[in-house]
Amino acid sequence: MFKNVFGSGFLVRTSHVILTWAITLILFLHDTDLRKQEEKDELMQPVLFVLLVLASVLLYFAVSLMDPGFVLTDGDAKFTLGVSEEEQEMIPHTSKTLRQRRCGYCLLQQPMRAKHCQNCKHCVRRYDHHCPWIENCVGERNHRWFVLYLGVQLLTLLWALNLAWSGFRYAPTWDSWLRQNGFLLAAAFLVGVFSLVVVLLLGSHLYLVSLNTTTWEFMSRHRISYLKHCGADENPFDRGTLRNLWGFFCVCRIIIWEQVYFRESSDPV
């Protein structure tokens, strides 16, 4: 289920953890609201902030090390439980057709919505993208955890940005101000940049999830065999915003996308 923690992404993961706790330490060392409450023995806010930072780090490792949905055998690509031979014969050949293909790299049969990742060296079910931030693919098994991680990370960053703002102190000259607030300014700058990136990522992923599409499908639908014959606004996997969100966040089983695709194809017009 989990990848080797000392794999190729060890440096990326280590850098992420060090940077996270370094910024947290700076917020505690400067005269921020955290330190003020700590000095007054009011530990509720400092403890909650540390727990939120810890939760974000744990979610980061979970998403980074989790199997995103690797296709390891031809058996992973079978969809006979979802579509019978009779149903396949009923599908109009002039409409949407399915041609199971073998991956040109790992030579395994690809389930629908899977794609081979050059970085991970595997095909990934319901492939979304390969994220260098977590040094892992985002796919069917870890996509919802990735979105949850982005949400927790955003809360942590916004809270940290507010705390950093509370720690800036007046100084008579720019030189003395920078000496007094330099580390805090650097931390606030990094937190601000990361906050903007996470807002854009979280917003785009929630939008795509609401449509039941992936980043790869959204960017490359003209090159994807099961989508390029669809209309510009047609998505065979879209079941409505609420059902898409429910299926993404609340349905834990592996979905047979061929079944959804065939059902939509064979619906009477």
CA angle 101, 103, 109 (to 5 degrees): 55
Q: Which of 181, 147, 172 is nearest to 30 (CA)?
A: 181
CB 77 within 8 A of CB 100: yes
Bin 121: left if φ > 0, else alpha if -120 < ψ < 50, else beta: left
Q: Which of 84, 29, 69, 51 is nearest to 258 (CA)?
A: 84
Q: Which of 18, 19, 46, 11 is nearest to 193 (CA)?
A: 19
Q: Is the dihedral of CA 172, 175, 176, 181 positive or negative?
A: positive
In angstroms, the CA 10 to CA 3 distance is 11
User: Which residues are catalytically annotated?
Assistant: 131
In angstroms, the CA 108 to CA 102 distance is 5
